[in-house]
Amino acid sequence: MKKILFLLILLMPFNVFAYGSSAKSAILMDMDSHRIIYGKDINYVQSVASISKVMTAICVIENTDIEKTITVGDEVLKSYGSGVYVQIGEKLKIKDLLYGLMMRSGNDAALVLAKNTSGDVNSFVELMNQMALKIGMKNTTFNNPSGLDEQDGGNLSSAYDMALLMSYAMKNKDFKKIVSTKEYTLKTNKNVYKWHNKNKLLYSYKYLIGGKTGYTKIAKRTLVTSASKDGLNLVVVTINDGNDWKDHTTLFEEAFNKYHNYNLLKKGNIYIIGENYYKNNKLYIKNNVSYPLTLDEENILKIKYEINKKRKYKNNDNVGKVKLYLGDSVVREENIYVKVKS
């Protein structure tokens, strides 16, 4: 197998800016490329409180029918702390409980969702940890679906892992709709609810998409939010931050002022100058390739194509990679596939 390289150089400077926050640990990340724009002790592990409900929500959405109507059972009797106060025998949709979970941080909603997704809470927690491995959350352990940490130590994670999780979850349209909702009204066989989202930035910061708040005495204030402007999609996570609303707004504003999202390659067929080995077929990539960059960067962004000359190959085989370099560091990779002409 012989490897051939093709190099495209774009003159795009690169620089690092002095961002800041009052958090114990914090991160500002581009949700599409996972570029870290700002970080402070991003791999520090501690209880993350109720922002762990992001995992609860996405596990429910991906593993059950959210339009299904369920009946609340006696699992709610084990709930304490913040709640939406659903009652035994109350009938409502899985979707309704998800709004209560993410807008009001309902610990009772978390228990009902866990039971109705996996049969019991322990099985659901196992599902949460499996999802964490899938996403690449290497410093995370979930012990419950709520984030409470007084009895079992809670859910342990890092700012970096929670940013990966939020980036993943925001790709789901149902999750995105729920966390961006400011008000939700629900009528059941037992009650009428009108919920207002606890996320204050939804009301005060115009570029915010959604997020999740959290607090326990052990974890202190935790917050994850996402915002979007001109095609640049960002996530901020702060852990143990008494000034989190301001810090999130400031970090978003600094990034939006200094970075632009560059769409470098579109998914689909690609043409590589000088590539002749697969010339009778089509080469393609499955995802768009974009990257956030500053306007006044000084170094060089490079796009490098690495093509493997396979003697035998079939339709849709992986035959190489396209790599983005900032200086000598690879910051993004995408597989290249071959479409064999019939």
The pLDDT, as a whole number, for residue 26 is 98
- Is position 19 within any domain? no
CATH of the domain at 113: 3.40.710.10
Question: Which phi-psi region, left, alpha or beta, contains residue 67 (left: φ > 0; alpha: ψ -120 to 50)?
Answer: alpha
Same domain, 209 and 328: no
Query: What is the secondary structure of 146-164 as a DSSP string?
Result: S---SSS---EE-HHHHHH
Whole-angstrom CA distances from 282 to 261, 264, 339 are 28, 19, 5
Q: Which residues are catalytic?
A: 50, 53, 105
Q: Is residue 20 situated within a structural domain? A: no
Q: Which of 213, 242, 271 is the last residue of a domain?
A: 242
Is residue 237 domain-shared with residue 322, that is, in the same domain?
A: no
Range of the domain at 311: 2-14+262-339
With respect to residue 219, please indicate whether it lies within any of the assigned structural domains.
yes
Assigned domain for 55 exists? yes
Both 148 and 224 in one domain: the answer is: yes
**φ/ψ of residue 111, rounded to 5:** -70, -40
Residue 252 maps to a domain: no
Question: Tell me, what's the pLDDT at 17?
Answer: 45
Domain annotation covers residue 253: no
Beta strands at 329-339 and 282-285: parallel, antiparallel or unpaired: antiparallel
Is the per-residue pLDDT at 217 higher than 90?
yes
Please give the pLDDT value at position 18. 54
Whether pLDDT at 16 is above 50: no
Calpha distance 137→132 (Å, rounded): 5
Residue 234 has phi, psi (to 5 degrees) of -120, 155
Residues 230 and 90 in one domain: yes
Does residue 256 sit within a domain? no
Q: Does residue 308 lie within any of the structural domains?
A: yes
The residue-averaged pLDDT of 308-313 equals 92
In this structure, are 198 and 304 located in the same domain?
no
d(C-alpha 323, C-alpha 337), whole Å = 14
Give 105-142 pLDDT, tens digit per residue: 999 999 999 999 999 999 999 999 999 999 999 999 99
One domain for residues 150 and 293: no
Q: Does residue 10 carry a pLDDT above 80?
A: no
208 and 301 part of one domain: no
The mean predicted confidence, pLDDT, of the chain is 92
In tens, the pLDDT along 146-184 reads 999 988 889 999 999 999 999 999 999 999 999 999 999
pLDDT value for 324:
92
Please indicate, yes or no, whether residues 305 and 192 belong to a single structural domain of this protein: no
Q: What CA–CA distance (Å, rounded) separates 118 from 283?
A: 42
Classify the C-alpha dihedral 112-113-119-124 as positive or negative: negative
Q: Are residues 238 and 281 in the same domain?
A: no
Structure tokens at 204: 């005060």
How much is the pTM? 0.89
Rounded to whole angstroms, the Cα distance separating 239 from 127 reads: 24
Whole-angstrom distance, CA of residue 82 vs CA of residue 85: 9
To which H or E segment does residue 141 belong? none
User: How high is the pLDDT of residue 15?
Assistant: 40
Q: How high is the pLDDT of residue 329?
A: 87
In the chain, the number of structural domains is: 2
How far is Cα 92 from Cα 193, in angstroms, rounded to an integer?
11
Q: Are residues 39 and 113 in the same domain?
A: yes
Answer yes or no: do 164 and 66 share one domain. yes
Is 293 found in the same domain as 226?
no
Q: Which of 242, 272, 301 is the last residue of a domain?
A: 242
pLDDT digits (tens, 9 = 90+) for 226-266: 999 999 999 999 999 999 999 999 999 999 999 999 889 99
> Per-residue confidence at 342, pLDDT binned at 50, 70, 90?
confident
- Closest among 30, 8, 28, 11 to 19, alpha carbons compared: 28
More confident residue, 15 or 46: 46
Tell me the Cα Rg of the chain: 23
CA dihedral 83, 84, 87, 90 (to 10 degrees): -140
